[in-house]
Structure 1
Amino acid sequence: MVMHPQTIQIFLPSGDPQGIRVASITTRIVQVIEVPRARLDVFLNTPEADFVGIYMLFGEDEETGVPKAYIGQTGNFGTRLKQHNEKKSFWNRALIALSLTQSLTVTHAHYLEWLAISKATQAQRFELENGTVGSKPHTPPAMEAECREVFETLDTLLTTLGYPLFDPLVRPRIETVSSTSPMSQAVPHALVLQDGDGRDFYCNSPGVEGHARYTDEGLVVLAGSYGRSEVSSGFLKHNYYRKRQNLIDQGVLQLDGPRLVYTRDTLFKSPSPAAVFLLGRAANGWFEWKDDAGRSLGEVVGRTAIQENVDA
């Protein structure tokens, strides 16, 4: 998705920031309504409950705390959400995408559902309740173009509301040439790296090869990184050991002989557990993660007083 400045309006019908929220880009006709499950009856009494479109249910696994989502389409939001309220227990928020001009048809909705499930599966942000993505529905080219424009708006609004369902933890790096940048003027034909997705860091030790990217959200350990399956005796008593085991149970970490391998990109809000899970011992992530010049993460981000540690 191409990034550019946008104006987004969030309307609070009841004045409560935790209640129903209506998000829209002021120049577009697509709108997203966030409905807490506890306020579903309020939404069902609105005209929008009879609209056509797609919706997303968000919640988490009660045992593991893993974020979960369900993506669906419907010719009538009210009818479908009533059914989910009776039969699905995991969700606590519904996000509903509709057209203010009621221009979306069931054909639009089927294609948008397929596209949304495909993108969410690729992003791996949430565990999907949907199962398989299914085959691409037949859609005329003109309508497919409309759907992709609607999806771009939906993606932006969901992320703004705090549900980055379709955004991968690490976006592919893109190298571009800017004719107005100082670098392109000083070095002819220079490629200027767009580094909005963070910097790369490494955690290396005997039996450990970790590769991560420090982003606006935290430290993302990249798939394929591996650490020691064995841990120190003191670490067995630490809360981080149980969290590490949860990742093994979820399949995020996979045992491979003496190695423990990340099967997918994994976000950590703090760099210390990201290092601890690889090293199998007490660790200070601000010091253990280093860039390709050997500088610690703490040094790079200007965290000079590095005191955070994990006792084990």
Structure 2
Amino acid sequence: MLMPHPQTIEIFLPFGDPQSLRVASVVTRTVSLVEIPRSQLRLFLQRPEAGRVGLYFLFGEEDKTEQPKVYVGQTGKLGERLKQHNMGKDFWNRAVVAVTSKDVLTEVHARFLEVLSLRQAEAVGRYVLDNRQKGRDSPHMSSSMRAVCDELFETISILLTTLGYPVFKPVLEQFPLGEGQVAQVQDDVPELFFCRGNGAEGQGRYTEEGMVVLAGSYVPVSSSKLEKKAPRVAAARQEALKNGFLRLEGNRLVLSRDMLFKTSSKAATFLLGRYATGWKRWKDGEGRALSKWRRGVTENDV
């Protein structure tokens, strides 16, 4: 895992509108990303990138669970491929394409980057993958070509996160401390919080992005009662089971990997099977509510 380091990122607005096309690049590198609202695909088709080789991502949401969803692909002609997806795929509302200047990116590079992207996105688990084939083999390439791909992938990951699509960023990212550095604990927040009840046992960490429910947490197997009273929770659990986030162990579902929720309440609701206020239900090892640590108020004040 690479250590984060200072970088200068440039975001260009071709039409002067931040809600329209955006072009993101690291000023010292050859790769750039173009973010395309689906409703403005015609504007991208008029740009030179539309005729190039590239890696592309389609972003949207699952209808039932509202989980973020992505399709990853590569093509020799980005414009033509996106037009096909505009006709054939419903879920996406924005596309992001990765291209390089000076034609550094070849179709062999693009195929390798597609496989690498699918593997990393599946391992991280932030987004539901729309791709049916996820385990395809990487194309054969020389060590020098592989080094080029590794650098391209690093830049693509940074730029995607900058644009608001952290598809490759682990939900709990940890970097080794360099010489002379010391660990910083923000606001003395406890490392672990717990959410228990209704047969559920959850452990989590509160981060800047939300609540991460840790692997090993569990909930009871969903029932017809849950499907009737909390259909979204039941659908979210079923989706998590289908995508490998949950596994069946006897009469309970156990998290196989860390799972990020945007709010502590969504995490608690997922675990408890009914709406729950996360600020109250998540507690540290001494029984103090999350609200005390992140709001500076007592549980009774919430």
The residue matched to 1:199 in structure 2 has which SS? coil
C-alpha displacement of 1:41? 1.2
Deviations 1:240-291 (A, max 9, x none): x232112223125566555343344322222234234434566442233233
In structure 2, the residue matched to 1:93 is 94
In structure 1, the residue matched to 2:210 is 218
Q: 1:134 aligns with which of 133, 136, 149?
A: 136
**CA distance, structure 1, for counterparts of residue 23 and residue 36 of structure 2:** 9
Aligned 1:42-121 pairs, distance under 5 A: 42-121=43-122
Residue 245 in 1 paired to residue 234 in 2? yes
Q: How many residues align?
A: 293
The residue matched to 1:286 in structure 2 has which SS? helix
Amino acid at match of 2:67: V
**CA contact under 8 A between 1:284 and 1:308: conserved in structure 2?**
no
**CA contact under 8 A between 2:268 and 2:281: conserved in structure 1?**
yes
Residue 286 in 1 paired to residue 279 in 2? yes
The residue matched to 1:101 in structure 2 has which SS? helix
In structure 1, the residue matched to 2:158 is 156
**CA contact under 8 A between 1:228 and 1:279: conserved in structure 2?**
no
The residue matched to 1:15 in structure 2 has which SS? coil
**CA contact under 8 A between 2:125 and 2:259: conserved in structure 1?**
no
**CA distance, structure 1, for counterparts of residue 117 and residue 275 of structure 2:** 40
Q: 2:149 aligns with which of 138, 143, 147?
A: 147
**CA contact under 8 A between 2:58 and 2:94: conserved in structure 1?**
yes
Aligned 1:272-311 pairs, distance under 5 A: 272-280=265-273, 283-292=276-285, 294-304=287-297, 306=299
Task: Report the CA distance shift for 1:290/1:25 in structure 2 as closer, same or farther (over 3 A).
Answer: same
Identity, in percent, stands at 46
The residue matched to 2:103 in structure 1 has which SS? coil
Task: Report the CA distance shift for 1:89/1:206 in structure 2 as closer, same or farther (over 3 A).
Answer: closer
In structure 2, the residue matched to 1:167 is 169
**CA distance, structure 1, for counterparts of residue 232 and residue 256 of structure 2:** 16
Deviations 1:123-160 (A, max 9, x none): 11112122223012111100100111011110011011
Ranges in structure 2 where 5+ consecutive residues have no aligned partner: none
**CA distance, structure 2, for counterparts of residue 93 and residue 286 of structure 1:** 33
Task: Report the CA distance shift for 1:208/1:193 in structure 2 as closer, same or farther (over 3 A).
Answer: farther
In structure 2, the residue matched to 1:29 is 30
In structure 2, the residue matched to 1:186 is none
**CA contact under 8 A between 1:30 and 1:100: conserved in structure 2?**
yes
**CA contact under 8 A between 1:247 and 1:253: conserved in structure 2?**
no
Residue 203 in 1 paired to residue 212 in 2? no
**CA contact under 8 A between 2:236 and 2:270: conserved in structure 1?**
no
**CA distance, structure 2, for counterparts of residue 75 and residue 283 of structure 1:** 48
TM-score normalised by L of structure 2: 0.85
Ranges in structure 1 where 5+ consecutive residues have no aligned partner: 182-191
Which structure would you say has the larger RCO, counting Cα contacts within 8 Å and 6 or more residues apart? 2
Q: Which moved more, 1:246-255 or 1:296-305?
A: 246-255
TM-score normalised by L of structure 1: 0.82
Amino acid at match of 1:117: L
**CA contact under 8 A between 2:292 and 2:298: conserved in structure 1?**
no
C-alpha displacement of 1:223? 2.4
**CA contact under 8 A between 2:64 and 2:232: conserved in structure 1?**
no
Deviations 1:6-65 (A, max 9, x none): 221111111111111101111111100001111111111111111112111112233443
**CA distance, structure 1, for counterparts of residue 227 and residue 50 of structure 2:** 51
**CA contact under 8 A between 1:56 and 1:96: conserved in structure 2?**
yes
Task: Report the CA distance shift for 1:175/1:147 in structure 2 as closer, same or farther (over 3 A).
Answer: closer
**CA distance, structure 2, for counterparts of residue 30 and residue 243 of structure 1:** 40
